[in-house]
Amino acid sequence: MAAFSTGCASSTDPTIDSSRRFSTPHLQFEIASFLQAALSENTHKTYQTGLQAYYEFGHSAQCTIWPPTSDSVVQFVAYLSVKGLSYATVRSYLAGVSYYTKLQGHQDPTNQFLVCKLLQGLKRMKHTKDTRLQITKQLLQDIISILPRVCFNNYETMLYSAAFSIAFYGLLRVSEVAVTGKTSDRVLMIENLYIDHNDLSLHIGVIFSKTDQIGRGTSLHIKSTGDITCPYLSITKFLALRPHSKDPLFCHFGGSPMTRYQFTSVLAKAISALNKDTKAYKSHSFRIGASTEMAMRGWPSSVILTSGRWVSNCFRTYIRIPKF
């Protein structure tokens, strides 16, 4: 087998290799810390998975692949397609290769004309429809109504009722509500919530989000609905039981934060108890349902975009207005 050079020595993280260009260990550590903080934890994982796939491609092709060339990237795209990966996955893997290539000061071949056209062709040939269904307001009512049957106790029922209600009316991502991985400082904290009892509304500060990694922050104003799904009532009932701590807003009675796994698991149990397809309803179904509800009520696109903290018109793919 022909050898290939990764330019990363024994490390699979070129972030470390890039910091080694500088002389002192202190500066190397400082630079590596900045580079690590430049991307979210999930993006780092995706990029490293893509880089590892590129290494595996190099081994199978028995060729030198680092630094990447236009030819090796073209073959890599074909390699991933043959393995059955979707367009979105191929694109994210290429983004990882591109990131580490530029990080080491090499010319990035992933944005060349031929590669772009390959991705366009791949998208057309392997386009998969988003099969996630929306959680409508009616379905949210049913989910909250059935939570006492799927939760262990009254506290857990109040916890998930509040979390699901806020996820819907705040168009929140699950990463903004529940802890993902080891970090808990980027979800909603108790101090991010202000309850206006005169206006019967909630003011929520979303400090970090997928589209706001540096923490500029966004303020959400969510009004009472007066029914079983009411975010104001759900939160006030939950806070009456919640332990006094500065943990994430949504935490268990013992103080441990609600995790992404727990959020999605309880949602799946509720959906199953309602005799619906658990594969069709995911955590993002709250955002899909809320944005669709806003569109059906005639809210301007600009308001929907701002409410969901989108930075592009991709929000349009979330709107599922029924065709009669």
pLDDT tens readout for residues 57-71 = 888 877 767 888 888
pLDDT tens readout for residues 90-144 = 888 888 888 888 888 888 888 888 888 888 888 877 666 667 788 889 999 999 9
Same domain, yes or no: 221 and 283: yes
Q: Per-residue pLDDT for 13 more than 60?
A: no
Q: Per-residue pLDDT for 159 more than 90?
A: yes
Range of the domain at 291: 137-318
Q: Per-residue pLDDT for 243 more than 70?
A: yes
Identify the pLDDT of residue 112.
85
Q: Per-residue pLDDT for 238 more than 90?
A: yes
Q: In the chain, how many domains are there? A: 2
- Sheet containing 193-196: which strands, arranged edge to edge? 193-196, 201-206, 218-223
Same domain, yes or no: 116 and 141: no
Assigned domain for 6 exists: no
Same domain, yes or no: 258 and 189: yes
Assigned domain for 88 exists: yes
Domain stop point among 125, 159, 194: 125
Same domain, yes or no: 249 and 153: yes
Q: Per-residue pLDDT for 15 more than 60?
A: no
Assigned domain for 31 exists: yes
Same domain, yes or no: 48 and 97: yes
Assigned domain for 283 exists: yes
Identify the pLDDT of residue 61.
75
Q: What is the domain-level CATH number for residue 172?
A: 1.10.443.10
